Amino acid sequence: MQDQVSDYLTRLLQSQSNAKGLDWLGKQTQIISTTAVPVKLYLAFSQSSRFFKKAKLTLSREQIDQADHLTPGLQPQFWDELQTARTVLLLSYQAEKETWFNTINQLFETADMYEHQALFAALPVLPFQEDLIPRAIDGLRTNISLVFDAIALNNPFPAKYFPQANWNQLVLKAIFMQRPLYRIKGLEERRNPALAAIARDFAHERWAAGRDVMPEIWRLVSPFVDENYLADLKKTLQTQDNLQMKAALLALRESAYLPAQELLESYPNQVSTLDMDTLAWESIGSEFQRTRV
Amino acid sequence: MYIDPHIHVVSRTTDDYEAMRKAGIVAVIEPAFWLGQPRTEVGSFKDYFSTLVGWERFRASQFGIVHYCTMGLNSKEANNEALAEQVMELLPLYVGKEGVVAIGEIGYDDQTEAEDKFYRLQLELAKDVDLPVLIHTPHRDKRKGTIRSMDVSEEHGLDPKMVIVDHNNEETVKEVLERGYYAGFTIYPHTKMGSERMVEIVRQYGPERIIVNSAADWGISDPLAVPKTADLMRKSGIPEEHIKLVTYQNALTAFGQSGQMDEQDWLNAAPLDQTKKMSGNSVLRGGQTPRVEGPSDIVEN
């Protein structure tokens, strides 16, 4: 599987990176895979910035599907050339577990910001996944949004492996840092009552401080709407803010709670303009990012 | 615009950063050095090196200053041989990173055998990764130590153009320049150079391959030494183009050979934004208002 992913990522680079960089990368992966000497990996990993730019990859529809087929949820369309080259280097280093972790831990502990980005985004394609969970959890303590995003956004790793408490911390921190929630993989599937309560407390704190609430947080609430949440959604509907209202209506529409359905019926015109659920949340999230963050 | 190509900003305050920026410093190079307190564990080196490419770089950027660094095992701590061996194993992790513009500062302190051993190993490392070298010349027995540094560097086949010999004085400058090296001068009160002596050196030797720095650190030193010396040169009638060479361009040319330092890094820098955060820490504390400004606010000289 590692080889398949590596071949796939190399092909992505071949369609847009310069020949000199590709030639260098080919030589480095050859040396690293045949010798497995950590220093060769360390040097190549950091020096990649001399050969590859931080230019976003451009993927065809077919290439996007291929990525998902190789590793469910993998989205290299959000990666740049430099981190892709670094991921190819990581995959070329193969060793038994203890040796592999000694080497990779050094990379994590000495990484600069862009190296961290590459390492964390690569988690879903690295070996020994379960043993990498503490590393991912620790990585989320960063407040560099570039590094946080590499773990939290467009990355299937947390939803697949995080225990609920850590998952909830990830989502709450994303809210706190005003990151786009719709880009968190598995957000909908891993909604839970504890997270809904955390979101609600957060909203109350914001209101108490006279601040706006990120509209996407109501997506976390919708499966659990009861009379308390309904009061919050009513309050949100009264903000007269288009994005907030849309989010509250979506949450009501997703809820099976009868009073929620009744409340929804009093907004027939607004409801008729809403997209399908996933699309609607995405458009609210992206508009909020574009206009408010 | 000025570059201070040798300053240990981890030891300086945010007031210093603000004053440096106001005085026209656009970029700094922070050579890896000792911390006053000797390190006893390799982990202390690791976190220090990570600070140079991580937190300190970010901190400088919040004041509109581009931060580069050099990586190396300094000569003083080379004398703890067991530890030095471990640091040598660590260096390959850092020398290839973005913004690492040289191997340094390396060379001699007491000119011991251990210092010589690790100096040579690091010259070889510099050749392997094609980086310039920043040589620290000793405080004691300086002239001999300086000449020995150059002899050994040549023995290892390094091109003098790739080597910056630092902390020169009137006794060393002539030979360093004649042999084709860049000559660094540190304006540091009491121990190294005063700015008036510096003016005389530029008058006598001209501006070619001469580089002025502050080496400001945790001692009594001046993070504004470079702009202050430039002002004194101006008052003393040194031509403007010569001042530019010794306080800006020569450093850029010398360390730019790393491929890791480009004028565009500060000319086209993103607008200053103190709202960015890193590793859970901002340099701003509760209640302080972030200073956010557009690119037009660059202090020109």
Digit-coded pLDDT (tens) for B210-219: 999 999 999 9
pTM above threshold 0.90:
no
A42 CA: distance to closest CA in chain B (Å): 5
Q: Is B22 helix (H, G, I), strand (E, B) or coil?
A: helix
Residue contact B96–A43, C-beta within 8 A: yes
Residues of B in contact with A110 (CB under 8 A): 46, 49-50, 90, 93-94
Give the whole-angstrom CA distance, residue B292 versus residue A184.
30
A224 CA: distance to closest CA in chain B (Å): 32
Residue contact B280–A142, C-beta within 8 A: yes
Residue contact B54–A113, C-beta within 8 A: yes
pLDDT of residue B32: 98
The letter for the amino acid at A58 is: T
Interface of B with A (CB under 8 A): 46, 49-50, 53-54, 57-58, 90, 92-98, 129, 259, 276-282
Task: Tell me the percentage of chain B whose pLDDT exceeds 90.
Answer: 82
Domains with residue ranges and CATH for chain B: 2-271 (3.20.20.140)
Residue contact A143–B278, C-beta within 8 A: yes
pLDDT of residue A2: 81
Residue contact B92–A114, C-beta within 8 A: no
Residue contact A143–B259, C-beta within 8 A: no
pLDDT per residue over B142-169, tens digit each? 999 999 999 999 999 999 999 999 999 9
Residue contact B46–A109, C-beta within 8 A: yes
Is 0.90 exceeded by the ipTM?
no
**What is the distance between the terminal CA atoms of chain A, rounded to a whole angstrom?**
39
pLDDT per residue over A11-41, tens digit each? 999 999 899 999 999 999 999 999 999 989 9
pLDDT of residue B301: 33
Nearest-by-Cβ selection for B279 from A43, A106, A144:
A144
pLDDT of residue A154: 97
- B293 cis-preceded (ω within 30 degrees of 0): no
For residues B229 and B247, the answer to whether their CB atoms sit within 8 Å is yes
In sequence order, what DSSP letters do the residues of A92-154 get, joined into one string?
H----HHHHHHHHHHHHHH--HHHHHHHHHTGGGSS-GGGGHHHHHHHTT---HHHHHHHHSS
